Amino acid sequence: MNIKLSDNFSYGRLLRFVLPTVVMMIVSSVYSIVDGFFISNFAGKNAFAAVNLVMPVLMIIGSFGFMIGTGGSALVAKTLGEGNQEKANRIFSMLITVVLIVGLSLSILGFVFIRPLAMMIGASDLIIDDCVLYGRILIASCSLFMLQNCFQSFLVTAERPHMGLVISIIAGLNNVFFDFLFVYVFSMGIAGAAIATAMSQLIGALVPVIYFLGPNKSLLRLVKPEIDLKALRLSCINGSSEMMTGLSTSLVSMLYNYQLVKIAAENGIAAYGAIMYLSMLFMSLYFGFSIGVGPIIAYHYGADNNKELKSLFRKSLVIVMAAGVSMVILAETLAAPLSGLFVGYNQELLDLTLNGMRLFSLSFVLSGFNIFGAAFFTALNNGPVSALISFMRTLVMEVGAVLILPIFLGINGIWLAIVVAEGVTAVLTGTLLLKNNWKYQYLGFKSVSKTGSMY
């Protein structure tokens, strides 16, 4: 039976609804990891270092799609909860059009300026040409990347999470096949890996466009777009935390690479790249859950169903914290074989990566709480609070930690920076959840409002 946003959710129903989105995000991470595997093992560690150096630039360009997807889906789901499906479709159609226009514009700018950008973030003469080659191919397809990210959220809002999963699997298998063909069989190096990724993004963007353009039984459909600056502004504000996460994570990655180059040269960048690929796999569970549960929360908030809102908040916290403990145990147990997939061909690099992974993975126990906290406020259409959590988590705390800790702990300080950042941010997230309960009443008890009265 199809699960609807308007349903009352038990643990089982909630997990069944979000599971396709979680698996979708994991699959997306897996085919990104496959890219790294083929590049590292068949194009060499310098090519692998080049890809990881330029990747933050690509993520910054693509972060606009995350913002519109998460922020827009929260607004559209809230509008559906208010009973206005026609307005929801108009907003949805406008947002998809905006993403396409912005994506094409950024493709042109990025293609022209990728070389000076790569040099600015520390590309050496040894890897600069690989950075430019890989970057230009994927920048040319960034509008597809943005649309793919958008539709991951909107398919959930349309009550079609299983469709999102199927599309993701097909795109992932396409990427794996062409990685094997281009990188391994035809020895096309990073150019082959970039082309394979772009082809998978085409599937992830084009199939949902065709689905939503035609008659369908979902809650959403692409119609003639109308300019609605208020809806666009609200979508951007709602999704500002996801935009901040993308921007901050990319900027911090550049800082990590800068610090690691000073301590361990190209080996440091390669080790960090392997850890990021593995971390992406574990983090995809949190992001998938947050994307999956967000439209449900937004719908019931729009429908003024406070009882279900409290239930969703409580159940989500239990799931996220249980997942956090499980993932730390799993990551510590599998650190050696997973690290070996990427850098097993070089013992020195393997030892460096393994040590980093075991320290870095300690952050998983709290990162889910912070990611969900930011996503929860996005779903409540409270973009400023959501953005504050993301800004502090991915930029302020982590930048401070990665600059200060290596002074005292050397390279271990770089790996532990994320642990410290997540711990401090968890205190902030908890404080903001308590502080804003007076407005939304999701904690199940009354709290003092800003005026001092009890709700």
The model's pLDDT over 205-257, given as tens digits with 9 standing for 90+, comes to 999 999 999 988 899 999 998 899 999 999 988 887 777 777 777 778 778 87
Is residue 2 situated within a structural domain?
no
Q: Map tokens 């809806």 to a residue.
A: 231
245-293 pLDDT, tens per residue?
Answer: 777 777 787 788 778 877 877 678 788 878 887 888 888 999 999 999 9
Q: Where are the alpha helices (DSSP H) in 229-303?
A: 229-238, 240-302
Which residue type is seen at 107? S
Q: What span, in angstroms and rounded, lies between the C-alpha atoms of 184 and 42? A: 6
Q: What span, in angstroms and rounded, lies between the C-alpha atoms of 217 and 221? A: 9
Is residue 251 situated within a structural domain?
yes
Average of per-residue pLDDT across 331-342: 87
Q: What span, in angstroms and rounded, lies between the C-alpha atoms of 333 and 58? A: 32
> What six digits make up the tokens of 335?
């650190």
Closest CA to 40 of 207, 273, 226: 273
Q: Residue 1 has what pLDDT?
A: 54
99 within 8 A of 68, measured Cβ to Cβ = yes
Average of per-residue pLDDT across 427-433: 96
Mean pLDDT over each residue of the chain, to the nearest integer: 88
Is residue 3 situated within a structural domain?
no
Is residue 100 situated within a structural domain?
yes
Is the pTM here over 0.75, yes or no?
A: yes
Is residue 309 situated within a structural domain?
yes
Is residue 445 situated within a structural domain?
no
Q: Using only C-alpha atoms, what is the Rg of the chain?
A: 21
- 285: containing domain: 17-438
Chain centre to alpha carbon of residue 156: 15
The number of folded domains in the chain is 1
Is residue 453 situated within a structural domain?
no
Is residue 294 situated within a structural domain?
yes
Q: CA-based angle 404:250:112, to the nearest 5?
A: 130
**Confidence tier at 446 by pLDDT (50, 70, 90):** low
Average of per-residue pLDDT across 317-327: 95
252 within 8 A of 394, measured Cβ to Cβ = yes
Q: Residue 424 has what pLDDT?
A: 95
57-105 pLDDT, tens per residue?
Answer: 787 777 888 789 888 999 999 999 999 999 999 999 999 999 999 999 9
Closest CA to 67 of 383, 391, 397: 383
